[in-house]
Amino acid sequence: MSGTPGTWVTVAKASELASGAMKRVEIGGQELAVFAVAGTFYALSDRCGHMSAPLSRGALAATPAGLVITCPLHGSRFDGATGKNLSGPVKEAPPDLDQASDRLRRFLARTAELSAAIRTHDVPRFDVRTVGDDVQVRL
């Protein structure tokens, strides 16, 4: 797909976008995570505001406080409607490393400590509309 900045571009079919599932779309040089929850459509940059992991491969949850996307790499959390960073990244290595060597545990702990020192930014959100069955995003 291609697109010019400021224009509306079809990125998905509403009937094919399952509620709660995230779809990765590349268009006009942008990598987007497009998703629907309870009949409302959303689009954020697919690049985590921490170290650019693909958010579309993370977890999307509807919580009492709103939609929350959790990054699959270090666990930073973002508001699914606005892209605002809510928390993260996770500062510790995973707790279930009983079978791992001491060297691997030290490496993961060091990696977690270093990644936690990297600032996490909000991710850009994009305006979304539907035209018939087309889900369109304004680039």
| Interface residues toward ligand FES, by CB under 6 A | 48, 50-51, 53, 71, 73-76, 88-89, 115
Q: Could you write out the three-class secondary structure of 73-109?
A: CCCCEEECCCCCEEECCCCCCCCCCCCCCHHHHHHHH
Residue number with CB closer to ligand FES (17 or 33)? 33
Cα separation, 102 vs 88, in Å, equals 25
Provide the minimum distance between the beta carbon of 61 and ligand FES in the complex, in angstroms, as a whole number. 16
Count of Cβ atoms closer than 10 Å to residue 112 Cβ: 18
Residue number with CB closer to ligand FES (74 or 125)? 74
Provide the minimum distance between the beta carbon of 115 and ligand FES in the complex, in angstroms, as a whole number. 6
Residue number with CB closer to ligand FES (3 or 58)? 58
Provide the minimum distance between the beta carbon of 11 and ligand FES in the complex, in angstroms, as a whole number. 22
